[in-house]
Amino acid sequence: MSHSAQHKLSAAQPEKDGLAHSIDTLNPRFRDSDSYTQVPRHVLLEVEHFFAVYKDLEEERTKVLGWKDQDAAREIIRSSHQRHLESSAS
């Protein structure tokens, strides 16, 4: 199962990047989760915190803009894969 969070990169890279984050449904805590809305709020806050600070050592800032559903996560993965294929072909 995949859910997505979007974040905005630093002023040097102001575009919005989509980020797909999967929830491990083999983990008993999430086995019955079909949506990020069923994940405990504190777990979502921990994930948001990670993505808010993970670029700090590179002196870049990120900002979590929100969560989206599985369809949005799949589209982020599909479009990212397509961009990779196009960049690899050149």
Residue 16's pLDDT band (cuts 50, 70, 90): low
Pick the more confident residue, 35 or 2: 35
Residue 4, strand partner residues: 20, 68
Mean pLDDT along residues 66-74: 86
| pLDDT > 60? residue 5 | no
Domains within the chain, CATH numbers bracketed:
2-89 (3.90.80.10)
Closest CA to 75 of 37, 23, 19: 19
* pLDDT, tens only, 44-67: 899 889 888 888 888 888 888 888
Considering the chain, what is the average pLDDT of its residues? 77
